[in-house]
Chain A
Amino acid sequence: SQKIEQNSEALNIQEGKTATLTCNYTNYSPAYLQWYRQDPGRGPVFLLLIRENEKEKRKERLKVTFDTTLKQSLFHITASQPADSATYLCALDETGANNLFFGTGTRLTVIP
């Protein structure tokens, strides 16, 4: 069966450290993978997209890697801040499916 698994439901880290979130998928062949941030009671907000032929993508303090052999994406937030506390969702596009499939998310808490 198809699965998108994010490493843990919750992750706590100290302010200033790097947060690393994992997204693993099974039985998908994505053309690209996206990461979103979701705050309580709000809709997801798009952060980054990485294509199947890209290894790494950066945006300010964010970095995403994509390994199609391991079927895994890593999402890093460097120099984390309490304002980074939120749930982070990975989503992937199955080639030909014309829509996104979402993981259940990891709730990140950055402790001051």
Chain B
Amino acid sequence: DADVTQTPRNRITKTGKRIMLECSQTKGHDRMYWYRQDPGLGLRLIYYSFDVKDINKGEISDGYSVSRQAQAKFSLSLESAIPNQTALYFCATSDHSRGDGYTFGSGTRLTVV
């Protein structure tokens, strides 16, 4: 099994629909992150969580919400999807000690039509 598992791998949804992307990790790490990747813009942080009770906004959190259901699970929701949220979404995890590399999932390709 992968260290970080994202579901679904691909999703097409309609404008205005609510959608949830799920992430689970088996690394036992405290920190989890959601990024989106767009061509030419690189990876941008949406939300991050340092433990179950700690949720923080990243640089592009508008239009998104998250839930940290357990140490191993961190889900991202789009409350009312819009076309410019079409992107590749990645979940990642890291150890609490600073300087550790991030472990990323394989991504979810989301298309909003």
> Which residues of chain A have a CB within 8 Å of any CB of chain B?
4, 31-32, 34, 36, 41-47, 49, 51, 89, 91, 93, 98-105
Contacts and interface: CB of A to CB of B under 8 A. Distances in A.
Nearest to A103: B42
Given A34-B102, A49-B101, 9 more contacts: A4-B42, A34-B101, A44-B43, A44-B102, A89-B43, A98-B50, A98-B56, A99-B48, A100-B102
A26 to B, nearest CB: 15
B46 to A, nearest CB: 11
For chain B, give the interface size range. 20 to 34
Contact of A46 (B41, B48, B50, B101): B101
Contacts of A47: 101
27 contacts: A31-B98, A31-B99, A32-B99, A34-B102, A36-B101, A41-B109, A42-B107, A43-B4, A43-B90, A43-B107, A47-B101, A49-B99, A49-B100, A89-B43, A93-B98, A93-B99, A98-B48, A98-B56, A99-B45, A99-B48, A99-B58, A100-B45, A100-B102, A102-B35, A102-B43, A102-B44, A105-B42
Interface of B: 4, 33, 35, 40-45, 48, 50, 56, 58, 90, 92, 98-107, 109
